[in-house]
Amino acid sequence: MSEDPVVKTVNPVKIYQNGDVPVPAVRGVDLQVEAGEFVAVMGPSGSGKSTLVHMLGGLDQRTSGEIWISGKRADTLSESKWALLRRRGVGFVFQFFNLIGNMTVADNVELPALLAGASPREARQRREFLLGELGLAARADDPPARLAGGEQQRVALARALAHEPSLLLADEPTGNLDTRNTRDVLRLLSQVHKKGQTIIMVTHDHRAASCADRVISLLDGQIVDDAPIPAARRGPRRNAGDVIELRG
Ligand X SMILES: Nc1ncnc2c1ncn2[C@@H]1O[C@H](COP(=O)(O)OP(=O)(O)O)[C@@H](O)[C@H]1O
Residues that bind ligand X (CB under 6 A): 16, 18, 23, 25, 43, 45-51
What is the rounded distance in angstroms from the CA atom of residue 166 to the CA atom of residue 152? 23
What is the rounded distance in angstroms from the CA atom of residue 92 to the CA atom of residue 41? 15
Residue 43 or residue 91: which is nearer to ligand X going by CB?
43
Residue 50 or residue 70: which is nearer to ligand X going by CB?
50
The minimum distance between CB 38 and ligand X, in angstroms, equals 19
Which does residue 46 touch among ligand X, Mg ion, none (CB within 5 to 8 A, set by kind)? ligand X
Which does residue 9 touch among Mg ion, ligand X, none (CB within 5 to 8 A, set by kind)? none
SS3 of the chain: helix, strand, coil, percent, to 5: 35, 25, 40
Burial of residue 25 (CB within 10 Å: 0-12, 13-18, 19+) is: buried
The residues binding Mg ion (CB under 5 A) are 50
Residue 50 or residue 217: which is nearer to Mg ion going by CB?
50
Residue 50 or residue 166: which is nearer to ligand X going by CB?
50
Half-sphere exposure of 183 (CA within 13 A, CB side): 10
Which does residue 47 touch among ligand X, Mg ion, none (CB within 5 to 8 A, set by kind)? ligand X
Which does residue 89 touch among Mg ion, ligand X, none (CB within 5 to 8 A, set by kind)? none
User: What's the Rg (C-alpha) of the chain?
Assistant: 18
